[in-house]
Amino acid sequence: MASTKFIILQLVGLLLAISIAVFQPTAVNISPLFSNESKCPVPEYVGTFDHNDTQFLLHDKSFRKFAAERLSRAIQIDTVVDEHMTDFSKFIDFHNYLRTEFPLVYQNAIVTKINNYGLVYEFKGTDSSLKPILMMAHQDTVPFGDLSEWEYHPLSGHFDDEIIYGRGSNDIKGLLVGLMGAMTEIYQKNPNHKLNRTVIFAFGYDEEISGDLGAKNIANYLFEKYGPDSIDHILDEGAPMCIGVNKNYYGFVVTAEKGYLDLAIEVNAPSGHSSNPTDKTSIGLLSEILSSYEKDKFKPIIPDENPMLNLFECVSEQSKLPFFYKLITKLSRANELAKNLLINKLANVSLFEYTIRTSQAIDVISGGTKYNALPYNATAVINHRIAVGDNEDTVLSKAVKHSKTVAIESNLGLLVNDKVLIEPTKNGVIKIRTLYYLPVAPITPIFDDIWNRLTGFMRNFYEREVFPGKFIDTPYIITPTTMQGNTDTRHYWKLSTHIYRSQPGITNLFEAHMHGTNEYVHIDSHLQVIAFYYNYILNIC
């Protein structure tokens, strides 16, 4: 004890000294050390479950087999999409599957097809003063990749008594079929239950290629029908609700999504014969820009609103972390120095780096037509995932910085989204263009009533029904987090301020080879979807 105290004092002293010496007054603030206020309050348990029904859905042998085979049949239907697709009529097979397997849902819901293949199920509640809840998933999957690398055919839906294999098992038919299954159980087990609150299911069909056909039109339909901010909360695919990482278990609730930006950098320089070349061709000039652009990574940042900061606060308060991490986490909202230490530590961990840093990847390049002709045009496209706190300007300024150096050195013009920064010259021009920009998603508020209801319910479900006794020595840490990719919710921002991307389940999506070969879902994860939504809807609707 004594020695720990001594180290604490030393560290605090050191921090203070450095702070005063180097930084402005905000860096000196160590007042959070003397506060015992939680930055990550653990929610109270929410909901009452029919223990018997819940255990049946989670563990009954014949139900398990029935549910696995039903999901397997969904996986056997090809719903692969790719960027070049124009005919989506194969989705009719999937619709027929849903109608056949879930007759009770079709009897009780208003089913609307949006843009032919998008599906909306509205289960009407009796109390119109309660805002509806909206559960999302998508019907489509990514392509198979190399078939020879699959142990079982991606459309086999092979079940080995624990694991269901196949494309879409994890992303995200296990969730979609589970939602339909949960609703079926509600109508089967509680034929007299009347929903007070409307429940909506919305299943797009092109999430993997941006959702412009499915989710976008579904969102418009719901917006017309229900209005702005009309949905209590939205739950979509995302992080698992209960996964083990090292010695802890986490309930990851994604409350922020990074932005997205495709940037084109084009260099036009005089064409001509290769026997009498200019010193640098458009390709050479573009290479110079790209090479320095790539070396200059975006600055990692953690503005206070980035849920990653909440994540570290939750972990720091609820589990064992090295003292140094606890210290800088506790101080980081009030103390710039501590914040910077935290940023530097995290930017160095590959798991976290791009949750706090805008990413850049030069993905496409084109230029040149002939071996003996100087290329007039060289163009590259750089993909970015924009960190919370950054925006289009962050990316454009960096592109301008590196392009300007080359423009000045080689006497070229410079255009940014058609705006002339430097007039084009006879040597040519560099053109920077935003091809597609999606800002960082609005951040879902946390620790409010809707958060507490969802996460209190998760605690109840996982701590008391799924894993009773497990979380006595091991914490179950429910925490907000940030997602690096985008979901269909990008089209739903106007419908609700509370968008969560999280699904019942126990498997890390990367471990389950989401988008890779041998994708799988554990049957327990699927049964948890059914049991979770069965109770969640009965309790809050």
DSSP string, 192-253: T---SS-EEEEEES-GGGTSTTTHHHHHHHHHHHH-TT--SEEEEEEEESSEEETTEEEEEE
Q: Which of 122, 140, 390, 463 is catalytic?
A: 140
Annotated binding site: 138, 171, 208, 236, 515
Quote the tokens at residue 411. Answer: 């006497």
- Residues 6+ positions from 192 with CB-CB distance below 8 Å: none
Q: Are 253 and 454 in contact (CB under 8 A)?
A: yes
Binding site for ligand NAG (CB under 6 A): 36-38, 52, 56, 196, 266, 268, 347-348, 366, 377, 379, 539, 541
- Output 115 or 271, the one with its CB closest to ligand NAG: 271
Is 279 catalytic? The answer is no
Cβ–Cβ under 8 Å, residues 179 and 115: no
Enter the tokens of residue 456.
């209190």
Residues, the chain, total?
Answer: 541
Residues 6+ away with beta carbon under 8 Å from 342: 302, 312, 325, 328, 329, 332
Structure tokens at 440: 């960082």
Kindly write down the DSSP assignment for every residue of 312-339, as one continuous string.
Answer: HHHHHHHS---HHHHHHHHHTTT-HHHH
Sign of CA dihedral 448, 216, 199, 88: negative
Q: Quick one: 196 or 425, whose CB is closer to ligand NAG?
A: 196
Phi, psi of 514 (to 5 degrees): -55, 130
Return the number of the residue (62 or 107) whose C-beta is nearest ligand NAG.
62
Q: Which contiguous run of DSSP H or E holds residue 477?
A: strand 476-483
The binding site for Zn(2+) consists of 138, 171, 208, 236, 515
Could you tell me how far CA 220 lies from the centroid of its own chain?
22
DSSP 42-96: PPPP-----HHHHHHHHH-HHHHHHHHHHHHHHHTS--B--TT----TTHHHHHH
**Active site includes 317?**
no
Cβ atoms of 166 and 156 closer than 8 Å = yes
Rounded Cα–Cα distance for residues 404 and 185 (Å): 63
Which residue is associated with the tokens 């000294």? 17
In terms of CB distance, is 268 or 481 closer to ligand NAG?
A: 268
Strand partners, 234: 134, 499
List Cβ neighbours of 320 (8 Å cut-off, separation of 6 or more): 247
Least distance from ligand NAG to the Cβ atom of residue 34, Å: 10
Which residue lies nearer to ligand NAG by CB, 349 or 408? 349
Q: Which is nearer to ligand NAG, 348 or 484 (CB)?
A: 348
Of 207, 463, 465, 524, which is the active-site residue? 207
Q: Shortest gap between Cβ of 67 and ligand NAG (angstroms)?
A: 15
Token pair belonging to 11:
């560290």
Are 535 and 186 in contact by the 8 Å Cβ rule? The answer is no
Q: What letter would DSSP give residue 485?
A: S
- Which residue, chain included where needed, has tokens 């160590």? 30
- Closest to ligand NAG by CB, 56 or 221: 56
- Which residue lies nearer to ligand NAG by CB, 83 or 87? 83
Both tokens of 121, joined, read: 């199920």
Please give the Cα distance from 185 to 215 (Å, whole number): 26
Smallest CA-to-CA distance from 114 within 276, 250, 227, 224 is with 224
> With helix as H, strand as E and coil as C, how does 429-484 read?
EEEEEEEEEECCCCCCCCCCHHHHHHHHHHHHHHHHHHCCCCCCCCCEEEEEEEEC
Could you give the CA distance from residue 393 to residue 383 in angstroms, rounded to a whole number? 15
Neighbouring-strand partners of residue 120: 112, 202
CB of 87 or CB of 426, closer to ligand NAG: 426
With left for phi above 0 and alpha for psi between -120 and 50, is residue 266 left, alpha or beta? beta
Question: Which residues are catalytically annotated?
Answer: 140, 207
